Structure 1
Amino acid sequence: MSRQLVACMLNVSEGQNLALVERIAQSALRAVNPPAKKTAVEGWKINAAVLNIFQDFDYNRSVITIVAGQDSIGASVEAACKTAYELIDLSEQEGVHPRLGAVDLVPLHPISENMSLQTLGAVAKDLGRSITSSVPGTSVFLFGAADSEGRGLVARRKEVGWFKTPVRYSSLTHDLGHVPSPRYGLTGVGAIPYMMNVNVTLDTKDVALGRRVAAAIRATSPKGLPGVQSMAFPHEGRVEVACNVDLLPSHLRSPDWEVRESLGGQYVFTPSDVLTRRVLQESGGVGTVGTTLVGFTPEEARALASLALTRGEGEAWRKAKDRRM
């Protein structure tokens, strides 16, 4: 069995009921850990662990960080998704953050060095098929290495209608499963290099300003930051610039990028301090209240995953001194 480590940042459309979200996390563990599965990978006591649960009340959204070996990640995440579909009725959910699915996003990320993204793409595609077969009525769109054309998450979200309002579920584009419905919505499943969520809170209620800042820093802008995708939302009485920070293959690196190497130099990414400084520059003198990293850097995720699996700490999120918020 493979000791290649994979992380899944499972995004579900529930951020106000911790007990419900923890039931989803526990399902990921029961599916693949002893005694449900007799043996773990050599050197590991268990096959999967949950490193972190991040909840946001205003967004009504949670991110569950599941880690496992490449051979176990599919079954672990599928079990979590099945529980989420059972417990979350998307038609009854409201939140500031856009969403299309009760299970909104299922990205698989390699966190071991020199791991094949193409192989993980096949795992993700099989996971999408398994989800739609085991939960009738669900639907999936594929992205990254799971997509036959290798289209990224942002491109696929635009194509399927993720950013459009109001949502007409029956007209959404999907790759697998049933025609999307208000009950389950549409789930994105894919395999991409590790992606961090970095949120910078501006000390203002001016959402228009936040959107201008988000537009200026995203990678598609002329002077945007490498690998950064950004949006702005009202959040807890202020405005949050919410960013996905992608790892980029190091061969794409430009001399003028302010980036940090990751996973043995295989990738580079924009650090959170660079992102925060740029937000301040673009905000026209408006200060920031703070910067939040949702989860971990790739190196932190790999180290904590190895520790949790070796020690048999499946519910590692309960032992964390610093809950990643």
Structure 2
Amino acid sequence: MRPVLVECVPNFSEGRRPEVVAAIAQSIGRVPGVHVLDIESDEDHHRCVVTYVGPLEPVLEAAFAGVQEAVRRIDLRTHQGSHPRIGAADVVPLVPIRGITLEELVPAARRLGERIARELGVPVFLYGEAATSPRRRDLSFLRRGNFEGLQAAMDGDPERRPDFGPPTVHPTAGGTVVGVRPALIAYNVELGTDDVEVARAIARRVREAGGGLVNVRAIGVKLERRGTTQISMNLLDYRKTPIYRAFELVAAEARRYGVEIRSSQVVGLVPEDALVECAEYYLRLDATWSRRQILERRLMELEAAEAERRPTDPAPGAEPSAG
């Protein structure tokens, strides 16, 4: 049986100080058994995303280490960015990759959240599959009001009180959201306008809550340093809503305002199948096409078959077993 593999994709509220981003990533990568696969940061969003994988317990230890480093180094009282956030370590999602289910990860998320609250004094909220009420499954609900409005939200709404720790905002690190979710795609489309109200109007029509695409979360944000705006999306299930469909709807809504698309961006890692779907759509590949025509896939199949046929070599210096 192949070992359990878990992905974690923590988002931190720092995208302008490379040394802080590096320190957070290094604190994660130092945990034995953990492999950091990707580090993304954005100055306008003032945010970084670290993607790493490993067995369950090392992944939890690395998540705590990353949150601890963020709490030590990030002060949200002086933080301004275009992306919503309530915490220095804003959200810490656990994602099942192999040998473990969403449901089986929920107790792990609870253990991690309880430890963060107990040892770091940061209030923790559970979301996604780990949420303790239907409304709290949605990350946007827990982020409403941002860091600046978090204390008032906790004081005024029982649904906004933390699952772990006292209902008091950490003075510099805010709160942290910990949860369990399937793999998603973070996908942004940059618009040829600096009018953020246009971007927000487009985002409203694209996201599921506004009658747009199923399993899509979208916001319109201003990119001050680039002098433009962006539709920032999470595609929660690319099999139901592929990347090309999200792109085409953004483009169609933008045309209503006479706005062109400048570029698009994948944040972090993306499943290969999601990009192949885009190629199939835009190239209009016919029924003779098969994904087994992808060279790298066939080579991987060949290498796997050869590895299975290859006899196991004895350890160096080992005596052959008696016949």
Q: Same fold (TM over 0.5)?
A: yes
Query: Which residue pairs with 2:306 in the alignment?
Result: none
Which amino acid counterpart does residue 65 of structure 1 have in structure 2? T
1:116 is aligned to 2:101: yes
- Deviation of 1:134 (Å): 1.8
TM-score normalised by length of structure 2: 0.76
For structure 1, the residue ranges without an aligned partner over 5 or more in a row are: 34-46, 248-259, 261-267, 302-325
1:234 is aligned to 2:222: yes
The structure whose RCO (Cα within 8 Å, separation 6+) is larger is 1
1:174 is aligned to 2:145: no
Which amino acid counterpart does residue 61 of structure 1 have in structure 2? R
Which amino acid counterpart does residue 147 of structure 1 have in structure 2? A
CA distance in 2, matches of 1:143, 1:196: 18
Query: Which residue pairs with 2:199 in the alignment?
Result: 210
Query: Which residue pairs with 1:244 in the alignment?
Result: 234
Query: Which residue pairs with 1:91 in the alignment?
Result: 77
CA distance in 1, matches of 2:273, 2:30: 24
CA distance in 1, matches of 2:145, 2:78: 19
Maintained 8 Å contact 2:36/2:51 = yes
- Deviation of 1:181 (Å): 2.9
Aligned-residue sequence identity (percent) comes to: 33
Which amino acid counterpart does residue 199 of structure 1 have in structure 2? N
Higher strand share: 1
Maintained 8 Å contact 2:125/2:177 = yes
Query: Which residue pairs with 2:29 in the alignment?
Result: 29
The C-alpha deviation readout for 1:297-316, integer Å capped at 9, x for no partner, is 24589xxxxxxxxxxxxxxx
CA distance in 1, matches of 2:72, 2:41: 19
Once superposed, which parts of structure 1, at least 4 consecutive aligned residues long, lie more than 4 Å away?
150-153
Maintained 8 Å contact 2:86/2:146 = no
TM-score normalised by length of structure 1: 0.75
After TM superposition, the structure 1 stretch with the greater mean CA deviation from structure 2, 227-236 or 172-181, is 172-181
Instruction: Choose from 245, 261, 278 the match for 1:288.
Output: 261
Maintained 8 Å contact 1:229/1:243 = yes
Query: Which residue pairs with 1:278 in the alignment?
Result: 249
Query: Looking at CA atoms only, which structure, 1 or 2, has the larger radius of gyration?
Result: 2
Q: Report matched runs for 1:64-213 at 5 Å.
A: 64-112=50-98, 115-135=100-120, 137-149=121-133, 151=135, 153-154=137-138, 157-158=140-141, 160=142, 162-163=144-145, 166-169=148-151, 171-172=153-154, 173-178=161-166, 179-213=168-202
CA distance in 1, matches of 2:150, 2:129: 27
Maintained 8 Å contact 2:199/2:229 = yes
Maintained 8 Å contact 1:169/1:180 = yes
For structure 2, the residue ranges without an aligned partner over 5 or more in a row are: 155-160, 275-323
What is the root-mean-square deviation in Å for CA atoms of aligned residues?
2.5
- Deviation of 1:271 (Å): 2.2
Maintained 8 Å contact 2:84/2:143 = no
Matched residues, number = 265
The C-alpha deviation readout for 1:167-201, integer Å capped at 9, x for no partner, is 25364321111311331101110001112110000
CA distance in 2, matches of 1:141, 1:130: 12
CA distance in 2, matches of 1:55, 1:171: 28
Secondary structure (helix, strand or coil) at the match of 2:132 reads coil
Secondary structure (helix, strand or coil) at the match of 1:98 reads coil
Higher helix share: 2
The C-alpha deviation readout for 1:232-289, integer Å capped at 9, x for no partner, is 0111211100001102xxxxxxxxxxxx5xxxxxxx2422222111101011241111
CA distance in 2, matches of 1:111, 1:24: 23
Secondary structure (helix, strand or coil) at the match of 1:71 reads helix
Query: Which residue pairs with 1:17 in the alignment?
Result: 17
Distance 1:151 1:67, change over 3 A: farther
Q: Report matched runs for 1:302-321 at 5 Å.
A: none
Maintained 8 Å contact 2:192/2:259 = yes
After TM superposition, the structure 1 stretch with the greater mean CA deviation from structure 2, 269-278 or 197-206, is 269-278
Maintained 8 Å contact 1:157/1:163 = no
